[in-house]
Amino acid sequence: MSIKILLIDDEELFREDFALLLRNEGYECLTAPSAEQGLETVKKEFPDIIFSDIVMPGKSGIDILEDLNRINPDGSVIIMTSFGALETAIKAFRFGAIDYILKPIEFEEVLIKIERIIQHKELLSELKFLRKEVVEHTEEFSFVGESEPIKKIKELIQMVGPTNSTVLINGESGTGKEVVAQAIHLISNNSEKPFIAINCPSLQENLLESELFGHVKGAFTGAIKDKVGFMEAAGKGTILLDEISEIPIALQSKLLRVLEQKEFYRVGGTKKYTLNARIIAATNRDLKESIKIGKFREDLFYRIAVFEIEMPALRQRSEDIPLLIDFFLKKFNNEMKKKYIGVSSEAMKAMLNYDWPGNIRELRNVIERAMILCENKTININGLPSNILGISQNISESKSLKATLNSYERAYITQILKENNWNKEVSAKILEINSSTLYRKISELDISENN
């Protein structure tokens, strides 16, 4: 791991001697003779570690601490001082320093501090990698499949991912819009930066602006301290505005201005902040229809719809259902410590014929439920909800209570018999009735293999 270190100190001899020692240890070392020049170097070089003196002409080391952390949030700042007062250290920590050392410095102590910082950064890097792996392996189900619609989605992600363009993802609930946004972020040039998903409907209208842009102390009742908003916290990462159609019309105009000018103010504040994050929007509504009824601004629509991705519903890619089922079987086998090997032909037929209004999310839940209910190594129709089996339709066509019960019973027994190749003894055990009762039901309900 290549470590870049910046020394900010107005004493030239000390600065150059210190830098030489660090270079001899194999570190890349930059120097700056003042706080102001140090800030300019940070903006260009983004060093991993910054050693800054406190007392310097012009701005002090304490004066630039907040700017150092804002400009270079991944950098670690260590304050150097000849005055070992506890108050100085406390003030430095309050403004973002992670440590301090006393002059004259002990070089061995400096090397120990640097090594600790390196170890911490390596740990954070590993955690980011693991988090990325988790996203790729637990959320990839939306991309399982070989249908033409899903192939097209993959192609679009590959094209738009490396750019900084704003993306609008349209699609029904449960089709994987957030997963697509994550995939775009993971192949972007800032994949190591934060990915922040904001569920717009979940935030109260009066708090949404504060959550997006932050606020200053006293901006409104309850604002007892300054708050960093999502736009600021994301840095150069990615922000997903999920269900953007639910943002109040008044806030839409402010959002439009932010997207156009790439800058914003905290609520109640006067300090200007730059928007560095990439914006991805998602919606399950037809925004053009929302525009017609005055629920969404047309100019905001054209600002976010630079690159549109239309997520296919599961019923539009039904050939992927067997592959998705297989994916979920493996996933839940691992999580539940089970050993399911497949799905019965009857259960598969029922799932292929179902419309899946809840899309992939609904399929996921159905498979998880079935793996809890079924007792052998194959998911059968016993584990599927009645709406997928079509039983509810049969019931709705009946009129009297007796006819409804008979319709349900006939459909269910027929399905169990089919599942077990019309083996009546096995079917009776599954139904928890004796064989003679099953034969009687078959006769009464006019069940046959031709049904």
Note the pLDDT of residue 10.
92
* Alpha-carbon 408 to chain mean position: 42
pLDDT 10s digits, 136-153: 444 444 568 889 999 999
Rounded CA separation 241/283 (Å): 9
Q: Which residue has the higher pLDDT, 386 or 295?
A: 295
Neighbouring CB atoms inside 10 A of 47's CB total 24
Note the pLDDT of residue 228.
85
Q: Is there a contact between 184 and 280 (Cβ–Cβ < 8 Å)?
A: yes
Note the pLDDT of residue 429.
82
Note the pLDDT of residue 261.
94
Q: What is the DSSP string of 408-435?
A: HHHHHHHHHHHHTTT-HHHHHHHHTS-H
Q: Is there a contact between 332 and 338 (Cβ–Cβ < 8 Å)?
A: yes
Note the pLDDT of residue 83.
61
Longest Cα pair distance anywhere in the chain, in angstroms?
103
Tell whether the model's pLDDT for residue 398 goes beyond 60.
no
Which of 43-47, 143-147, 426-430 reaches the highest mean pLDDT?
Answer: 43-47
Q: What is the mean pLDDT of residues 226-249?
A: 91
Q: Is there a contact between 312 and 351 (Cβ–Cβ < 8 Å)?
A: no
Backbone angles phi, psi at 32, to 5 degrees: -145, 135
Rounded CA separation 7/23 (Å): 12
> What tokens were used for 176?
């994987």
Q: Tokens 């994550």 label which residue?
A: 182
> What tokens were used for 240?
């997903």
Q: Is there a contact between 166 and 307 (Cβ–Cβ < 8 Å)?
A: yes
Neighbouring CB atoms inside 10 A of 266's CB total 23
Rounded CA separation 338/353 (Å): 27
Pick the closest to residue 29 from 63, 8, 4 (CA basis): 4
Q: What is the mean pLDDT of residues 45-71?
A: 90
Note the pLDDT of residue 155.
93
Note the pLDDT of residue 6.
95
Note the pLDDT of residue 281.
97
Tell whether the model's pLDDT for residue 98 goes beyond 90.
no
Note the pLDDT of residue 127.
46
Backbone angles phi, psi at 146, to 5 degrees: -125, 15
Tell whether the model's pLDDT for residue 210 goes beyond 80.
yes
Note the pLDDT of residue 29.
94
Residue 80 exposed, middle or buried by CB count within 10 Å (0-12, 13-18, 19+): buried
Residue 331 makes CB contacts below 8 A (sequence gap 6+) with 138, 141
Note the pLDDT of residue 130.
42
Among 4-8, 124-128, 351-355, where is mean pLDDT lowest? 124-128
Domains of the chain: 4-123 (3.40.50.2300), 143-310 (3.40.50.300), 315-378 (1.10.8.60), 390-451 (1.10.10.60)
DSSP three-state, residue 99: strand
Q: Which residue has the higher pLDDT, 86 or 330?
A: 330
pLDDT averaged over the chain? 85
Residues of the chain with pLDDT > 90, as a percent, come to: 46
Q: Tokens 């800054």 label which residue?
A: 52
Rounded CA separation 288/266 (Å): 30
E strand or H helix at 196, and its extent?
A: strand 195-199
pLDDT 10s digits, 238-287: 999 999 999 999 899 999 999 999 999 999 999 899 999 999 999 999 99
pLDDT 10s digits, 10-37: 999 999 999 999 999 889 999 999 999 9
Tell whether the model's pLDDT for residue 198 goes beyond 50.
yes
Partners of 228 in the β-ladder: 214
Neighbouring CB atoms inside 10 A of 359's CB total 23
DSSP three-state, residue 307: strand
* Alpha-carbon 188 to chain mean position: 14
Q: Where are the alpha helices (DSSP H) in 219-266?
A: 230-233, 249-261
Confidence of residue 161 (pLDDT cuts 50, 70, 90): very high
Q: Which residue has the higher pLDDT, 313 or 428?
A: 313
Q: Is there a contact between 320 and 357 (Cβ–Cβ < 8 Å)?
A: no
pLDDT 10s digits, 358-382: 999 999 999 999 999 887 789 988 8
Does this model's pTM top 0.75? My answer is no
